[in-house]
Structure 1
Amino acid sequence: MTDEPTIYVDADACPVKAEVLKVAERLQVPVVFVSNGGLRPSRDPMVRHVVVPGTADAADDWIAEHGQAGDIGITADIPLASRLVEKGLHVLGPTGRPFTPETIGMAVAMRNLKQDLRESGEIKGYNPGFTGADRSAFLQALDRTLRRALREKRG
């Protein structure tokens, strides 16, 4: 474990990449964007892009393998969030929703319930639109979470 947290971003469909960069640059922490491709490389030496094969869970597996306790994971993927929480990462969804040991069980249960309801035709598979309020909530949550992670890792 290093004395600086790293931010790992499940980047393929992440709507808050610019916000991650903004907070990370201000607090001088490294960022790793993991995707199946299609992201513009950054010239910033603190930003790394990892391109994984196009298989379904390749980005999730890479992040789960490389993230360490005290790092930060950004994902809307509940199963990945669960894996990261289990490893001791601080995990945020793109709306700023924290996934913690206390909340991840309910998040997994709700995800599974909604998936079952979609498959049975009881509900439609639409997600709510991403709003400016979501973006603002994410910025605040990431700043708070990253500052806490920095304190914890630096002792």
Structure 2
Amino acid sequence: MAIYVDADACPVKAEAERVATRHRQTLYLVSNGGLRPSDNPLVEMVYVTEGPDEADKWIAARASRGDVVVTNDIPLAARCVEAGAHVVKPNGEALTQANIGPALATRDLMTDLRAADPFRQGGGRPFSRADRTRFLDGLERAIREAAK
């Protein structure tokens, strides 16, 4: 089992490292750069080339059955779910075969709405302590399921 984190703009890298360390699992933090290396021997920093979706491509090429992926990127999540990996969003929500289709449809709809109305820009709510707690719980569940 490996844990892959789409680390660019991921708010739960430290939490993922703590959980991976507790379970003695390798954690890959994949980014375009700009992340401080970890001293933890279980954490591998992967720096991909600059460009759109390079980190996503790297993760999707490696994630497979029994792995866990942490990402907010719905198309990447869909590819990983299709490969049999367990996917957890930073807010703790699990993305599975049962809910990835509606998640992709919602993402596409929101993309179209933003394109149709350039003044419709919204950031959503800030990431909270409760989100971090839900992530820790969701990652624990994903790791236990992946280990089965």
Q: Same fold (TM over 0.5)?
A: yes
- Secondary structure of 2:37's partner? coil
Q: Which residue of 2 aligns with 1:63?
A: 59
Query: How far is 1:148 from its partner?
Result: 1.8
Distance 2:67 2:124 in 1: 28
Does residue 1:107 correspond to 2:103, yes or no?
A: yes
Distance 1:23 1:144 in 2: 11
Q: Which residue of 1 aligns with 2:78?
A: 82
Q: Unaligned 5+ residue runs, structure 2?
A: none
- Secondary structure of 1:94's partner? coil
- Secondary structure of 2:78's partner? helix
Q: Which residue of 2 aligns with 1:19?
A: 15
Q: Which residue of 2 aligns with 1:6?
A: 2
Aligned residue identity for 2:146: A
Q: Which residue of 2 aligns with 1:47?
A: 43
Does residue 1:143 correspond to 2:140, yes or no?
A: yes
RMSD (Å), alpha carbons: 1.1
Aligned residue identity for 1:140: D
Aligned residue identity for 2:92: G
Task: Among all aligned residue pairs of Structure 1 and Structure 2, give the percentage whose two residues are the same amino acid.
Answer: 49
- Secondary structure of 2:30's partner? strand
- Secondary structure of 1:45's partner? coil
Query: How far is 1:125 from its partner?
Result: 3.6
Aligned residues: 147
Asked if the contact 1:118/1:125 (under 8 Å) is kept, the reply is no
Query: How far is 1:123 from its partner?
Result: 3.5
Q: Which residue of 1 aligns with 2:121?
A: 124
Superposition misfits of 4+ residues, deviation over 6 angstroms:
none
Query: How far is 1:91 from its partner?
Result: 0.2
Distance 2:12 2:129 in 1: 11
Query: How far is 1:127 from its partner?
Result: 2.8
Distance 1:148 1:88 in 2: 12
Asked if the contact 1:37/1:51 (under 8 Å) is kept, the reply is yes
Query: How far is 1:55 from its partner?
Result: 0.5
Query: How far is 1:28 from its partner?
Result: 0.7
Distance 2:112 2:125 in 1: 18
